[in-house]
Structure 1
């Protein structure tokens, strides 16, 4: 028989806004739906953290480009009827009470409280949909309950340079949060005694002296209702600072790997870090697996490739006598043809294999087949889904530096550049011989 004192936890994953910092990967999909790690979506990370922690009542709040996300969720997460678990998307909607978009994180939760109350939770756990980390959320919840706090905020230690980009917490000797400041200057940090107290440091690295909010919260259900009984729209900027003055708010110091993958640069680096001998985020953890859509695809096929090093090859991909693949992540159904060289490349793969009829039509229209053609050289690039790259193409190996943003070649080919990383759009067609 279930313990009646066990907390009834409802998990809420925030899908984020328009995802402009991850553009063009978010041109046709929301941030949580962006493919990651060859076969996953970013949203699989927080959902898997919930499932592995025993929390199976999960709502995902979103309002931009939600079709791809909806398809992924419905095809990936189906619990049995006896567990009463679910992963359900709640998109912004018009009702008799409100007619606008979500105006912020707190506003998104407030506008969906009618759905949440029906689950009669004792606690809410608020998670972000675009972060890479593995956390035992039950340990987080146990710490919250043991502390007697109304709200607990997950925090991570950061160095002085990084602290200026986060919301920074000041805590006392019992890890109660006494003060909060949003993106402080270095001078403010040094003059305001914001460093982590010595007795709370544990084994934290010496250079990481400040506590940054991870945007992950636990609220007692009653406290959530009280804190949202207003018109404030954002947790980090408005609700949390107000709560610190009126409620017992504690810090839960997380000392594991955590990365906000909200920009092209962070997305690229975090993905390629997966190819390291000992990656900071390990998908090969039997005790805390990351779940995703089961595709029933065949295993990777390598028909000759003299040099494959520090790379991930996901199911359904075909390497047909490629010359070399180095520090790259090759997505599902990706086809790499004869003589091609990839170095530091992320391919998101394809949604389908082209049949012979489609290939014949491509040939008739002078269009390359989906995948990477023969004798291509590609470096420091992200190739989105269903892109068709012709033979003898050179991408990001000429040494030319392109301005950040949209770029267009004389032959009409368009691409996106971000800090030296070239992004080939979803469904893009790159004619044979193109040099980027």
Structure 2
């Protein structure tokens, strides 16, 4: 039984901005050590799937650099599979950019067809979860399905963000509605699909010929297959799964790792999350500093009298003397100035805060309102950045001179247009 996996990694991830202004969403760092795509790739190799195509489009450079030849995932293979990154290209039909997820696979159908797979697993590269796909394959085969959709229950107030299913006897899907305004169910698609290859090929070619299609798996291809009588089943998944496509859910998923017990155990030696690690020196924690309930990567320096609580640090973070960090995620080489306060924030790579800055705010009983600072931005000293504010990339202290009070208001948007520090 030959199984080929297709990882969809080409979306812009606009809801995760500013973290996605300079990188693809699957390449966004996660949990101090990983990239988001590491979870999907590790699920594949831990399920003995070693033939993987990664379809990219938006800002693929960080993703290319991270994956390279796939060696950390044991994917540096030749004739037996391996990992291949597929970028948009212009072919005979004079098409280049992908119109949707289904169109992306259709344009790369020759690569999918290579090796004559029996089954094709289509997964998103921007979800965080641990899943043994062999259980999905057994379910699919035992039910004699043409296609299987993995499902999870979501809160009713969030159901309109997902594809919602209605399921009958023997897990047969009877209806599939993408992002309904008034959901009638909380059973949601995980964006994980398993197809018999022939069924997938027919569906993709048919969808490609339809002028009224947006060429998306959830919005078009799956519903159209159902209307045509294709046997599609729902595979129930009961483990931890989260779509980290928004700033608040990205932050919350990492706070879930700090729970006791954690929502997802990264120390499980039976299901290792593989990644390409950076070579950094050991972490240094100075005398008088306090660190509690946090994940701290290599190369971090925490200066004297600093306090770190319920936070996650990527490699190379520097925390100045007397600074306080709470319920925050700091990415590689972030520099927090002396006596600064960082509460409930996401600080991207190479961000530097001036001394005595106050960024974000904790309001008890409310896990939302996350403040986010974009990559390579430098903040002036004594600046106050409000709760839920979003700061763009590559800004300098001079860009914040427009805030004469020295305060960026709650939920403000700053610097999301190149070369401008305008408040949005």
Q: TM-score, normalised by structure 1?
A: 0.81
Residue by residue over 1:60-106, the C-alpha shift from the partner in whole angstroms, topping out at 9 and shown as x without a partner, is: 11111111110001165353547834222111111223423101010
1:316 counterpart = 2:310: no
Correspondence for 1:263: 246
Counterpart secondary structure, 1:59:
strand
Please give the residue correspondences for 1:164-179 in structure 2 after superposition, counting only pairs within 5 Å: 164-179=160-175
Report the Cα distance in structure 2 between the residues aligned to 1:115 and 1:82, rounded to whole angstroms.
Answer: 14
Correspondence for 1:56: 50
Aligned pairs, number: 388
Correspondence for 1:383: 347
Correspondence for 2:202: 226
Residue by residue over 1:195-225, the C-alpha shift from the partner in whole angstroms, topping out at 9 and shown as x without a partner, is: xxxxxxxxxxxxxxx3211111001000011
Task: After superposing the two structures, state which structure 1 stretch, 42-51 or 90-99, moved more.
Answer: 90-99
Please give the residue correspondences for 1:281-320 in structure 2 after superposition, counting only pairs within 5 Å: 281-320=264-303
**Residue of structure 2 aligned with 1:243, choices 199, 220, 225:** 225
1:372 counterpart = 2:336: yes
Contact 1:381 1:422 (C-alpha < 8 Å) held by counterparts: no
| Residues 69 and 289 of structure 1: CA distance in aligned 2, closer, same or farther (over 3 Å) | same
Report the Cα distance in structure 2 between the residues aligned to 1:96 and 1:253, rounded to whole angstroms.
Answer: 41
Report the Cα distance in structure 2 between the residues aligned to 1:284 and 1:176, rounded to whole angstroms.
Answer: 36
Show structure 2 runs of 5+ residues with no match: 364-368, 409-424
1:157 counterpart = 2:148: no
Please give the residue correspondences for 1:28-177 in structure 2 after superposition, counting only pairs within 5 Å: 28-74=22-68, 77=71, 79=75, 81=77, 84-177=80-173
Correspondence for 1:393: 357
Correspondence for 2:192: 216
Report the Cα distance in structure 2 between the residues aligned to 1:271 and 1:33, rounded to whole angstroms.
Answer: 16
Report the Cα distance in structure 2 between the residues aligned to 1:308 and 1:406, rounded to whole angstroms.
Answer: 23
Show structure 1 runs of 5+ residues with no match: 1-6, 195-209, 351-369
Correspondence for 1:206: none
Structure 1 residue 305: Cα displacement: 4.3
**Residue of structure 2 aligned with 1:341, choices 320, 324, 337:** 324
Counterpart secondary structure, 2:205:
coil
Contact 2:354 2:379 (C-alpha < 8 Å) held by counterparts: no
| Residues 309 and 429 of structure 1: CA distance in aligned 2, closer, same or farther (over 3 Å) | farther
1:279 counterpart = 2:262: yes
| Residues 424 and 119 of structure 1: CA distance in aligned 2, closer, same or farther (over 3 Å) | farther
Structure 1 residue 409: Cα displacement: 12
| Residues 164 and 19 of structure 1: CA distance in aligned 2, closer, same or farther (over 3 Å) | closer
Contact 1:13 1:129 (C-alpha < 8 Å) held by counterparts: yes
